Amino acid sequence: MSIIAEFTIPASEFVFGDVFTDAPDATIELERIVPASDSLMPYFWVTCEDHKTVERAVRNHPAARNVTRLDSVDDQTLYRTVWEDDVHDLIYGIGQTEGVILEASGDERWFFRLRFPNHDTLARFYNFCTEHEISLHIERVYTLTEHVEEGRQLGLTADQREALVLGLDRGYFDSPSEASLSDLGEELGITQQAMSKRIRGGMKRVLTKVLLDSTDQPPRE
C-alpha cells in the first residue's frame, strides 16, 4: 500500500536547497529526480526575473557538474542539473529508496510531499536520513486509503475523487499544465467533456466545503 510522507527541512540541510541560497529572489520547485549511471539529475522549475543569477549559483556550487535550461514559459524556466556522484544527501536518499516527488518547493525552508511504495521503503528513507544526520520535521504520514477517506469528507463522488487525483498526479493543475482534459479522459476511458464535468464538479465541491463551510447550504450540482 502506497504511503505519503510530508515533511519540512531547512535548505541548509541538503545540497539542492543550499545551492539556491545565493538566489534569494527565486522560487524553486523540484519536479523529479532521474538516476544516471554515476550521479543524479534533478529537474526543477525556477520562477524569477533574473535567471542568470540562478544559473550562476548552480554552476558555482561544487556539488553541481552542470546546469541545462530545457524550457521556458512566461517567467518559469525548467532546468536539469547533474550532481557529482559523491553527493549522498536528501535527494540521493529519495532516489535510492523509491520515493516519488509529489510536491517539493521552498526557499530558506522546504516542504516535501513524497510517495513511497510501502512502509518498508519509507522506513529505509527515514533510516537513510538518520544515518546521514539529515534533520527532517515530519508533518504527516498517511496512506492513499486515508487520503481517499478525506475526499469523502469533502462530499466528492468516487468519480470526482478519481478525476481530481489523476489530474494532480499527471500535472493537469500545474502551470504550465502537463496534461490536457483529453489526455486524462483517454486514460479513464471517458470523453473530454465527461472529464471536464468531473473535474469542475469536484473542484466546486471542494471549494464549497473549504471556503463556504460556515453556511448550511449544500453545494449545487
Residue 95 sits in the same domain as residue 195:
no
Query: With 0-12 CB in 10 A as exposed, 13-18 as middle and 19+ as buried, what is 27?
Result: middle
Would you state the pLDDT for residue 7? 92
Using alpha carbons only, give the angle 92, 97, 99 rounded to the nearest 5 degrees: 85
Q: Which of 89, 121, 142 is the last residue of a domain?
A: 142
In a domain, 218, yes or no: no
Which cell goes with 30?
523540484
In a domain, 148, yes or no: no
Residue 7 sits in the same domain as residue 111:
yes
Q: Which phi and psi (to 5°) does residue 78 adopt?
A: -95, 130
**Structural domain count, the chain:** 2
In a domain, 163, yes or no: yes
Residue 107 sits in the same domain as residue 171:
no
Distance of CA 140 to the CA centre of its chain: 15
Question: What does each of the 221 residues of the chain score in pLDDT, given as a tens digit?
Answer: 688 899 999 988 888 888 887 766 778 888 888 766 666 778 888 888 788 888 888 888 888 888 899 988 877 899 998 887 777 788 888 888 888 888 888 877 889 989 898 889 999 999 999 998 888 888 888 886 555 555 455 677 778 888 898 898 888 988 888 899 999 999 888 888 889 999 998 888 888 777 765 444 444 44
Domain at 191, CATH number:
1.10.10
Domain coverage including residue 19: 3-142
Residue 25 sits in the same domain as residue 90:
yes
In a domain, 216, yes or no: no
The alpha-helical segments, DSSP class H, found in 90-191 are: 90-96, 119-131, 144-153, 158-170, 181-188
Sign, Cα dihedral of 216, 220, 175, 180? positive
Cα 194 to Cα 141: distance, rounded to the nearest angstrom: 33
Q: Which of 121, 142, 163 is the last residue of a domain?
A: 142
Q: Which of 119, 142, 165 is the last residue of a domain?
A: 142
- The CB density around residue 103, as the number of other CB atoms within 10 Å, is 13
